[in-house]
Amino acid sequence: MTAVVAEGLRKRFGSTEALRGVDLEVPRSTVLGLLGPNGAGKTTAVRILTTLLEPDGGRAEIDGIDVLADPREARSRIGLTGQYAAVDERLTGFENLEHVGRLFHLGRREARTRATELLERFDLTDAGGRVSGGYSGGMRRRLDIAMSLVGDPSVLFLDEPTTGLDPRSRIAVWETIDELTRSGTTTLLTTQYLDEADRLADQIVVIDHGLVIARGTPADLKAQVGGEQVIVTLADAAELDAAAGALAPHACGEPIADGATRSLRVPVETVVGAVPGFVRALDAAGVPVVDVTTHQVTLDDVFFALTGRPVEPDPGDGPPTGPDTEDSSR
């Protein structure tokens, strides 16, 4: 059964078209990663699905319930963790959870039981009696996620759950989400971090400028940009053609030469065991080599391939530079 369906979502803010017809589908007990840069329309989509915003066009369903026709019923089935940890800093962790429970119309006793359970589940039992304004960023985020689970939602929306967190808290939040997924929660997660989507999502939808530009499993998307590569750096850029010729039998596609870095990117089926063959072929052709490295495709590559912005020259360099980077070396 499909937990979330969105069809043709459109939303305009003034002259900005935030969403230009977005379709989404999240099968039950899976995690959908909605991936895109700042301003791509991720949050707008989440706001529509969580009844906070009315779309200009399109429709959306949670558990088969139309969010526009019956927002209140839809609200009883969702949990939302927004971009900013929405906890009442004046209240303790326990009180925050109890409060949400009461708003879900659990009885007083049930709300308290639920609060205690969730504090335990999120390792906040010790902090539960303290005012949440004094929590660390990571603790606050955990409390925030716990609050979105009080109503036992059938779909959990996490809008950039790790933005602004330090690396350690980030990993802790990932583990929390892993745990939720294992227990069968359906999750729609937005993120600008490709490693996050890669790690957490079963399916990924990439959006940019309000349009879906790709969708599939992380593996599908990586395959779309040509799989893995061996990168050969030569002593002399003039030898690039000779090297390409010598390596043709080992390649599974057209090599990409870059004169500025004297390097050749050669697509291969797999990088495993490829390097010795490359070295031997280049040696036999008499091409002086400075370096041979391998590159396993990450979602960074996928994203940049899709948005027309270049792959980071150094694989594993992490998240991209600003959106204005216009380097056309690829």
Partner 1 sequence: MTTPSPASASTPRTRAPHVAHSPLLLVHDSWVEAIRHLRAMPRSPELLVYAAVQPLMFVILFVYVFGGAIVVPGYDDYRQFLIPGIFAQTVVFNSAFTGVGLAEDLTKGLVDRLRSLPIHQASVLIGRTLSDAVRNVLTFVVMIGVALLVGFRFEGTLPGALAATGLLLAFSYAFSWIQAWVGLSVKTVEAANSGGFIWMFPLTFVSSAFVDPASMPGWLQPVAENNPFTTLTNAARALYNGRDAGSDPWIALAWAVGITVVFAVIASRKFAATSRR
Which of 56, 152, 220, 291 is in the footprint of partner 1 by CB under 8 A?
A: 152
Q: How many CB atoms lie within 10 A of CB 31?
A: 23
In order, the DSSP letters of 312-326 are PSSTT--S---TT--
CB of 82 to partner 1, least distance (A): 5
Alpha helices in the chain (DSSP H): 42-49, 71-75, 93-103, 108-121, 137-148, 167-182, 194-200, 218-224, 240-247, 274-284, 299-307
Q: Which is nearer to partner 1, 54 or 166 (CB)?
A: 54
Contact (CB, 8 A) for 76 and 151? yes
Q: Which is nearer to partner 1, 157 or 278 (CB)?
A: 157
Which residues, listed in sequence order, are joined to residue 256 by a DSSP beta bridge? 265
CB of 53 to partner 1, least distance (A): 6
Query: Residues 261-300: x/- map of binding to partner 1 (CB under 8 A)?
Result: ----------------------------------------
In a 10 Å sphere around its CB, with 0-12 CB exposed, 13-18 middle and 19+ buried, how is residue 316 labelled?
exposed
Of the candidate spans 51-59, 210-218, 249-257, 302-310, the one that interacts with partner 1 by CB under 8 A turns out to be: 51-59
Is 198 a residue that touches partner 1 (CB under 8 A)?
no
Contact (CB, 8 A) for 270 and 226? no
Residues with Cβ within 8 Å of 294's Cβ and at least 6 positions away in sequence, in order, are: 228, 229, 230, 231, 271, 274, 275
Three-class DSSP category at 97: helix
Is 23 a residue that touches partner 1 (CB under 8 A)?
no
Is 130 a residue that touches partner 1 (CB under 8 A)?
no
CB of 117 to partner 1, least distance (A): 6
Q: How many CB atoms lie within 10 A of CB 201?
A: 24
Q: What size, in residues, is the chain?
A: 330
Q: Which is nearer to partner 1, 121 or 250 (CB)?
A: 121
Is 160 a residue that touches partner 1 (CB under 8 A)?
no
Which of 94, 122, 135, 278 is in the footprint of partner 1 by CB under 8 A?
A: 122
Q: How many CB atoms lie within 10 A of CB 3?
A: 25
Is 68 a residue that touches partner 1 (CB under 8 A)?
no
Which of 28, 130, 199, 209 is in the footprint of partner 1 by CB under 8 A?
A: 28
Is 82 a residue that touches partner 1 (CB under 8 A)?
yes
Handedness of CA 122, 176, 157, 44 (dihedral sign): positive
Is 67 a residue that touches partner 1 (CB under 8 A)?
no
- How many residues touch partner 1 under the rule CB under 8 A: the total is 53
- Between vectors from CA 199 to CA 195 and to CA 203, what angle results, nearest 5°? 105
Is 120 a residue that touches partner 1 (CB under 8 A)?
yes
Q: Which is nearer to partner 1, 68 or 237 (CB)?
A: 68
Which of 14, 182, 249, 273 is in the footprint of partner 1 by CB under 8 A?
A: 182
The rounded distance, in Å, linking the Cα atoms of 252 and 238 is 23
Q: Residue numbers of the site for partner 1 (CB under 8 A)? A: 28-29, 47, 50-53, 63, 72-73, 75-78, 80, 82-91, 95, 99-100, 102-105, 117, 120-123, 131, 147-149, 151-152, 154, 175-176, 179-180, 182-186
